[in-house]
């Protein structure tokens, strides 16, 4: 029987980011789908405001967690840092070709961290969730006058004689009509980006889940359990780690 050896891979900061991000994405998608179908579900204006407020608060956790991960990519362990999680760098494309060739030939190469194809996936994920975070913060400001952009939006659309801090959602009598129309035109591309990135994320998540399961079956190593324990169990030294580290 081949002896399995533990290799330390994902540190606590990386694991916490992963699971907080997963929970936030699931919560945001669930609430977002209800908001998208609010009219068909008979949700009142007050209900929509409550749903959008909940969506925004989950979004704040989502955005802060993403910022945390970007910082951790400078200070985490070697597998958490930018050179190990994003595509590129010396020898990357050769490693990618070799890894894909191994998959085709039924002899997959084993990595303790992200394999070359996985690094492409990480880049796509970070791009999509960054777009979602930025566009979502803008929409929270234009819809609900919530931070960080809400006060600036309120100053933009407040009717003469109305204090910006007094503005509330769905109260057109408090808004300057021309300014509000201009603001709505400004927010339109952010709505488009937020909506279509949401659909792309659905596709990406499905691909991610399938890829993890296939990798677990074909390569082993405990890729799923490692996101809980931080360790992969492997039968030999992976290509990106010659010793088990600490």
Is the overall model pTM greater than 0.75, yes or no? yes
Asked, for residue 98, whether it belongs to a domain, the answer is: yes
| Average pLDDT of the chain, as a whole number | 92
- 24/1 Cα distance (integer angstroms): 41
Q: What is the pLDDT of residues 161-212, one digit of tens each?
A: 999 999 999 999 999 999 999 999 999 999 999 999 999 999 999 998 998 8
Among 76, 74, 58, smallest CA distance to 21 is for 58
Q: What is the pLDDT of residues 58-98, one digit of tens each?
A: 999 999 999 999 999 999 999 999 999 999 999 999 999 99
CATH number at residue 65: 1.20.950.20
Asked, for residue 141, whether it belongs to a domain, the answer is: yes
- 72/55 Cα distance (integer angstroms): 25
Asked, for residue 243, whether it belongs to a domain, the answer is: no
Q: What are phi and psi of 238, to 5 degrees?
A: -70, 165
- 164/154 Cα distance (integer angstroms): 5
Q: What are phi and psi of 196, to 5 degrees?
A: -75, -30
Q: Which residues pair with 6 in a beta bridge?
A: 233
Among 115, 20, 135, smallest CA distance to 69 is for 20
3-state helix, strand, coil in the chain (%, to 5): 70, 5, 30
Domain with 74, as residue range(s), is 13-234
Asked, for residue 195, whether it belongs to a domain, the answer is: yes
Collapsed DSSP state (helix, strand, coil) of residue 37: coil
Asked, for residue 21, whether it belongs to a domain, the answer is: yes
Asked, for residue 6, whether it belongs to a domain, the answer is: no
Asked, for residue 110, whether it belongs to a domain, the answer is: yes
Q: What is the pLDDT of residues 90-126, one digit of tens each?
A: 999 999 999 999 988 888 888 989 999 999 999 999 9
Q: What is the pLDDT of residue 221?
A: 66
**Count of structural domains, the chain:** 1
| Residue 237 CA from chain centroid, whole number | 31
Asked, for residue 207, whether it belongs to a domain, the answer is: yes
- 175/157 Cα distance (integer angstroms): 5
């Amino acid at each position: 029987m081949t002896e399995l050896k533990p290799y330390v891979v994902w540190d606590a900061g990386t694991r916490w980011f992963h699971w907080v991000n997963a929970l936030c994405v699931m919560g945001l998608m669930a609430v977002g789908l209800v908001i998208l179908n609010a009219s068909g579900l008979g949700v009142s204006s007050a209900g929509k405001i409550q749903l959008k407020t909940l969506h925004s608060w989950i979004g704040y956790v989502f955005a802060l967690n993403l910022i945390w991960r970007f910082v951790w990519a400078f200070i985490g362990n070697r597998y958490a840092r930018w050179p190990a999680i994003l595509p590129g760098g010396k020898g990357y494309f050769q490693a990618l070709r070799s890894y894909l060739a191994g998959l085709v030939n039924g002899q997959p190469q084993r990595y303790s961290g992200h394999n070359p194809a996985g690094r492409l996936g990480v880049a796509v994920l970070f791009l999509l969730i960054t777009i979602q975070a930025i566009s979502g913060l803008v929409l929270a400001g234009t819809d609900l006058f919530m931070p960080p952009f809400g006060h600036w939006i309120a100053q933009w659309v407040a009717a003469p004689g109305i204090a910006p801090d007094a503005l509330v959602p769905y109260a057109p009598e408090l808004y300057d009509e021309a300014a509000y129309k201009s603001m709505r035109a400004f927010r339109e591309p952010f709505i488009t980006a937020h909506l279509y990135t949401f659909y792309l994320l659905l596709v990406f998540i499905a691909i991610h889940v399938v890829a993890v399961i296939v990798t677990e079956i074909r390569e082993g190593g405990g890729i799923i359990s490692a996101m809980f324990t931080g360790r992969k169990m492997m039968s030999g030294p992976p290509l990106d780690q010659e010793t088990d580290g600490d």
